[in-house]
Structure 1
Amino acid sequence: MTTHRRAPRRSPAGYRTSLPWRIITGAAQYVDRRIGWDRLPVPAGLLTLFGLRVRLRQKNLYDTGGLPAADEPEPAPPSASHQVNRTADGSHNDLGEPRMGMAGTRFGRNIPLEAIAPAAPEDVLSAPSPREVSRTLLTRDGLVPAESVNSLVAAWLQFMIRDWFSHGTSPADRPWEVPLLDDDPWPEHPMKIMRTPDDPTRDPHAPAGTPDTRVNVSSHWWDASQIYGKSESEQHQLRTGELGRLHLWDGEQPPVPADPAQDPARVPGFWLGLAMMQDLFTREHNAICDHLHGAYPSWSDEELFQRARLINSALLAKIHTVEWTPAVISHPTTVKALRANWWGIAEERVHNLLGRISDSEVISGIPGGETDHYGVPYALTEEFVAVYRMHPLIRDDWHLRAVADDTSLRHCTLRDISGPGALKFLETTEMADLLYSFGTLHPGLVTLHNFPRFLQEFERPDGFLQDLAATDILRSRELGVPRYNEFRRLLRLKPAGSFTELAHDPAWAGQIERLYDGDIEKVDLMVGLYAEKLPPGFAFSDTAFRIFILMASRRLNSDRFFTTHYTPEVYSKAGMAWIDDNSMVTVLLRHHPELRTALSGLTNAFVPWHSAAPKET
């Protein structure tokens, strides 16, 4: 066993802290608190967001890797292939620190390590219990729709999350026992919620009071591991061994091993939306391979696979940056800011004509720029995980319709299209019809009283019954994520001074106040996020958005395959053109041209599609 300790690193004190930068960041924070970035004209709003991002980089990146550790995952020895290929486990992305961001390494934090609350029963199970929060504040009576987007946003988000993070399989022993009220219909009293797995790298001799840590069993990088697997053995099972291609769901060989325990349909959280995205971008990988084979016929199966993986991963990152996120936070300022993350303020047209015209990420975007960790080893954070708990996006009821003429195919529930049952829909329903149905149905708004009922009584494939709303509340407490007001303070936001200030709906304010016995400091982060008044065009809260301001760009800035190695020499000239020339709309139409009418004239596939119903004469 090896044990090490290096000094934990946080946002560097010297990162842009000269007087001009202090003036910029101080002015941004002042204007944001006094006026609000979303109330400013777009140019002023962009400047404010820019200043806020710099301040967040200075103050809200904390490294857990320096805490006492033992038995950390060891990357494979360096090889020439690491220069140009992503590894299956995420190692060797940073060639100087090959362990950085690899599967099995710790989550970082966006809060000071001393602010991490201990995972003690009196904190995790304190009143109100997670179950009472679920029943009183989260239960959906009827869908509150997010009318500016379609239900592909929910499918896409879970597809991305499967790439980004997972705490792993919970142990069956020592569950949290959540006390229930006598009138609670839950079949077992107390309710049992499995614990998050312990950190296997934690030094058993760490001093008392050492902050709690957990590991990410996925790689922290944006590398499409949900398509390509998290290990060499998984990757081998998914590949056909010919022309770089992957097995398809409906191919002659299944894309999963015969062992039912490894069947993705039996992994908690599997549902039709996830299967649809998995299928679409597996097909996209194969299309990229075919394109590369035509351009470079001498390339081997391995070379085709590795280049296609890089291209597909970058296309996913581009779609998320300039399409998905602007759709769910469609304020004019954020749309402009997110597009600037990819192309800079010079915008797409200049990029397409001239490429990068500046080394500055502000002018020419992050891809192709310099790699920058901002003085803190890259890792996704527990706070990032917490604000991405957006189950209300998912509908309970689904009306599947035909893309040809909008005729009804069947009504079903989320229960019907979850777990192994999801694969039956892929076998019995045309994929174009499924995509059309999702594209013309609104998802839910991320708000109180809008949690899918099915997920409050979710039966996992192993038979364990789970209230995911209660679990989401408990997870943030268990992982030491601060309660709502303290979370805002640590992001330099004004805490809510009253329940009416916290919740935009007076009735909700009263419900929250009663449930939390008038103690606003106890309000859980998720409750506060869901209760907030949303900025115009937003499907989730402004407080959550602060973490996105920081982490959305960091995932690109820290990854050399999006920065210094985002070049034709690594991706190929044909590969770079593929990324530039494609979007979610073109991906959908390439594999399902039947969607052309429904997508006609749309530049963002995550906004509501056109109906295929015949027009009345």
Structure 2
Amino acid sequence: MGPREAAGAGTAPARPDSAERQAADRTPTGHAPPAARSGPQRGGGPAAKPVTGAGYRRSRFWALYDALAGLLDRRFGWDRLPTPLGLAVLVGIRNRLRKRNLHDPGRLPSVGPPRPAPGPGDPRVRRTADGSCNDLDHPSMGMAGTRFGRNVPLDSAYAEPPGRIMTPNPRLVSRRLMTRTRFQPAGSLNVLAAAWLQFMIRDWFSHGRSPSEDPWTIPLEPDDDWPAPPMTIPRIPADTTRPPGYDGPVTSLNTVSHWWDLSLVYGSSAEEQRAARTGADGKLRLRSRGTRPMAGGEADPAMEPGFWLGLVMLHTLFTREHNAICDRLRAEYPGWGDDELFERARLVNAALVAKIHTVEWTPAVISHPTAVIGLRANWWGLASERISRALGRLGGGEVVSGIPGSPTDHFGVPYSLTEEFVAVYRMHPLIPDEYGLRSLGDDSPIRRYTLRELSGPAALEVASAVSAADLLYSFGTEHPGAIVLNNFPRLLQEFERPDGRLMDLAATDILRCRELGVPRYNEFRRLLHLPPARSFEALAGDPGLAAALREVYRDRLEDVDLTVGMFAERRPEGFAFSDTAFRVFILMASRRLNSDRFFTADYAERIYTRAGLDWIADNTMASVLLRHHPELRPALRGVGNGFAPWHRAGGAG
């Protein structure tokens, strides 16, 4: 039984007022700001300029609608209602989140924020390298180097104090609750789904390089066999735009563009973009070492932490896709030069990736029928793909014909990705520890590798030695791990960075949320208008797991970390991750489309061309794979979603 049932049928715990909440709820978790922090710095900065969307659905009708949706969700759960009613409830849930869970740290004091630099070309008709000028009235919105936003009120976004941040010890949480005791597969997915997520995450956000000095030192238990004591975890890089003496809510910077612009392939700076391009026909370099520089200039991408074979495979695939789009556009518009072809192909490629994630990857990972319809409606609208493609847009709004082509809307808050969005996407259990590479032709084994043997510079060696089709086939026919407790990859609990430093990424995930002011599990649920877990037994749904949670957290339910709670809770039918994470997802997944003019007001033929829009509409993950590797056709025949398990060659099981 999950937290919803534990709260009691039809009732939600009464929300205390702000003062009571600080005394009762947040004090145990260390998030109540000290009295000394109650001065003007907690919001005393200059107010941001108003943006579109202020007053979103504030009428009495919508207030009643949202209240009824919340009541039905608490009483029954959106996922247990008939599909039409469940969809209506999800609309109300998203309305409430849009109105109450978008908060702008840009209003806090700031010095020297990044400013857009003049670049080549007209920003009205192209994406800039750093993400600036997406909103032409607010050019720095969402650009590289700007702050992460928040989905919780800024008063709840303080870093935990020094004595509290190690309670309980993150390494203890990792060893007792995260360690993979046996591999628990996600049987409805293939390993490409795990690789895709990292491909997206590296595009969406990065806190940048952590400083080498003054790391966190993690105490070790006497029986801990950590090979390089003491254990240290680097701190999050400082927000360089905070003024001296700042003592307010946590703010941090996203070093890549916040927009869904495929910056992993194209770069988030003019220097990266120049390094990626050939300078002819709009095309990107296909490097012998597998991928473009990802850290700027000619830096070796294989020396970036987190670089592995899955990233190489997808980066190469969508570099090839960009070049194929260039060929199509050049055939259609033979007079276009290198820059024009590059910019238009980039728009098409980025939109295709956003579409694949919206209507294929996400429905594969959260395959509840109601959620699948809602996710596809984000792109195609409730009118369905068939009607939208046959008749075009029916009206201006997003409900009937989808977000692409609808008006741009920031919902009253300048757009950014959020720290809570980062937190709920910490899904390392998807990654297996071992990989059996096999031949596409007859399913015969090539070699078995550990994750460590496929990471860093070794990934490029494997990519050179094994054909891309065999690699894709191997990933497409194996399962990733389930996102649950006791299923964290052991090789990520002793992860060797390219610089030789060892890290426990499970302990790091726990510490990062505490360091970045992301509330712990129960308080996080309250702030997302969800009932908290009432007991360890209700949270875990299993007596043994409940006992382990109780022991690690010393009977303090309010101490349970967000990641731990999400991995423990009951998941809706078909979901690979938690309903708690889903709340952030339904808010932010559509927002990334709604706020981006290249997916809304400028998702039009005058920007993309007719050929470009048709390319986006006509293609799927499977068609991209088959365009560049037609030999995969037998493995993909009849597979409706490229992230579902493929057919094994020769009928192998």
**TM superposition score category, shorter chain reference:** over 0.9
Q: Would the alpha carbon gap of residues 404 and 490 (structure 1) be closer, same or farther in structure 2, given more than 3 Å must change?
A: same
Partner Cα separation in structure 1 for residue 218 and residue 446 of structure 2: 42
Q: Distance in 2 between matches of 1:520 and 1:614?
A: 49
The equivalent of 2:210 in structure 1 is: 170
Correspondent of 1:249 among 287, 302, 319: 287
Offset of residue 479 of structure 1? 0.2
Asked whether the equivalents of residues 8 and 64 of structure 1 are also in contact (C-alpha less than 8 Å), the reply is no
Matched, 1:199 2:239: yes
- Structure 2: how far apart are the matches of 1:414 and 1:349? 42
Q: Report how far residue 14 of structure 1 moved.
A: 2.9
Q: Residue 57 of structure 2: which of 9, 13, 16 is its match? A: 16
What is the 5 A alignment of 1:137-536?
A: 137-206=177-246, 209-250=247-288, 255-256=292-293, 262-536=299-573
The aligned counterpart of 1:612 is: 649
Q: 1:263: how far off?
A: 0.8
**CA 1:512–1:9: 2 relative to 1, 3 Å:** farther
Residue 106 of structure 2 corresponds to which residue in structure 1? 65
Q: Is 1:44 matched up with 2:85? A: yes
Q: How far, CA to CA, are the matches of 2:45 and 2:267 in structure 1?
A: 29
Task: Determine helix, strand or coil for the equivalent of 1:550.
Answer: helix
Provide the rounded CA distance (Å) in 1 between the counterparts of 2:249 and 2:463: 45
Distance in 1 separating the partners of 2:228 and 2:75: 49
Partner of 2:578: 541
TM-score normalised per structure 1: 0.96
- Contact map agreement 2:204 2:258 (CA 8 A) in 1: yes
Tell me, in whole angstroms, the C-alpha distance in 2 between the residues paired with 1:90 and 1:341. 23
The structural deviation recorded for 1:349 is 0.3
- Looking at structure 1, the residues matched to 163 and 51 of structure 2 have their Cα atoms a distance apart, in angstroms, of 29
- Three-state SS of the structure 2 residue aligned to 1:124 is coil
Are 2:429 and 2:481, in contact at CA under 8 Å, matched by a contact in 1? yes
Q: Find 1:587's aligned residue among 598, 616, 624.
A: 624
Are the equivalent residues in 1 in contact too, given 2:622–2:642 (CA < 8 A)?
A: yes
Q: Which residue of 1 aligns with 2:70?
A: 29
Give the partner amino acid of 1:150.
N
C-alpha separation between the residues in 1 aligned to 2:489 and 2:456? 16
- Inter-partner Cα distance in structure 2 for 1:7 and 1:575: 36
CA-CA distance at 1:601 after TM superposition: 1.2
Return the offset for 1:581.
Answer: 0.5
Deviation at 1:249, TM superposition (A): 3.1
Deviation string for 1:29-60 (max 9, x for gaps)?
11011100110111111001011001100110
Distance, in Å, in 2 between the alignment partners of 1:510 and 1:63 is 39
Please state if 1:88 is matched with 2:129.
yes
Q: Distance in 2 between matches of 1:615 and 1:276?
A: 24
**For the residues of structure 2 that align with 1:600 and 1:606, how far apart are their CA atoms?**
13
Change (3 A) 1:19 1:379: same
Distance across 1 between alignment mates of 2:257 and 2:466 = 34
CA deviation profile, 1:536-567 (whole Å, cap 9, x unmatched): 11111010000001000000000000000000
How far the C-alpha of 1:255 sits from its partner, in A, is: 3.7
Between 1:480-489 and 1:397-406, the stretch displaced more is: 397-406
Tell me the amino acid that sits aligned with residue 338 of structure 2: D
Mapped to 2, the partners of 1:113 and 1:257 lie a distance apart of 32
Contact 2:284–2:323 under 8 Å retained in 1? yes
**1:116–1:527 CA distance, 2 compared to 1 (3 A):** same
Shift of 1:6: 2.6
Letter aligned with residue 475 of structure 1: R
Q: Following the alignment from structure 2 to structure 1, what is the Cα–Cα distance between the partners of residues 449 and 128?
A: 40
Residue-by-residue CA offset, 1:220-262 (whole Å, 9 max, x unaligned): 00000000011101100110001000011338x9744999981
Residue 120 of structure 1 is matched in structure 2 by 161
Offset of residue 117 of structure 1: 2.8
SS in 1 for 2:217: strand
**Structure 1 residues 91-106: aligned runs within 5 Å:** 91-106=132-147
Q: Which moved more, 1:321-330 or 1:496-505?
A: 496-505
Q: Report if the CA contact (8 A) 1:222-1:313 is conserved.
A: yes
Structure 2 residues without counterparts, runs of 5 or longer: 1-43
C-alpha RMSD over aligned residues = 1.9
**Whole-angstrom distance in 1 between the partners of 2:113 and 2:395:** 40
Q: Does 1:111 align with 2:162?
A: no
| TM-score between both structures, scaled by the size of structure 2 | 0.91
CA drift at 1:211: 1.1
Distance 2:49 2:550 in 1: 38
Amino acid at match of 1:482: P
Name the SS of the counterpart of 1:410 in structure 2: strand
Amino acid at match of 2:108: L
Counterpart Cα distance in 2 of 1:257 and 1:271 = 13
Displacement of 1:120 in angstroms is 2.6
Count of aligned pairs between the two proteins: 610
Amino acid of the structure 2 residue aligned with 1:5 = P
Contact 1:4 1:70 in 2 (8 A): no
Structure 1 counterpart of 2:362, which letter? T
Q: Indicate how the Cα distance of structure 1 residues 316 and 78 shifts in structure 2: closer, same or farther if over 3 A, else same.
A: same
Q: Give the distance between the partners of 1:107 and 1:355, measured in 2 at CA.
A: 35
Alpha-carbon separation, structure 2, partners of 1:521 and 1:254 = 44
Instruction: Report the residue type matching 2:276 in the other structure.
Output: L
Instruction: Give the AA of the match of 2:177.
Output: L
CA distance in 2, matches of 1:258, 1:145: 33
Equivalent pair of 2:443/2:652 in contact (CA under 8 Å) = no
Residue identity matched to 1:397? E
CA contact (8 A) 1:323 1:606 kept: yes
Tell me: CA distance 1:10–1:284, structure 2 relative to 1, closer, same or farther (3 Å).
closer
Displacement of 1:79 after TM fit? 7.6
The residue type paired with residue 275 of structure 2 is Q
Say whether the 8 Å CA contact 2:275–2:298 is kept in structure 1. no
Gaps of 5+ in 1: none
Q: Is the 8 A contact 1:25 1:52 kept in 2?
A: yes
Residue of structure 1 in register with 2:31 after alignment: none
* Deviation by residue 1:294-342 (Cα, 9 ceiling, x = unmatched): 0101000000000000000000000000000000000000110000000
Question: Deviation of residue 189 (structure 1)?
Answer: 3.7
- Structure 1 residue 351 displacement after superposition: 1.3
The answer on whether the counterparts of 1:11 and 1:59 sit within 8 Å (CA) in structure 2 is no
Q: Who is 2:607 aligned against?
A: 570
The percentage of counterpart residues that share the same residue type is 60
1:455 offset after TM fit, Å? Answer: 0.4
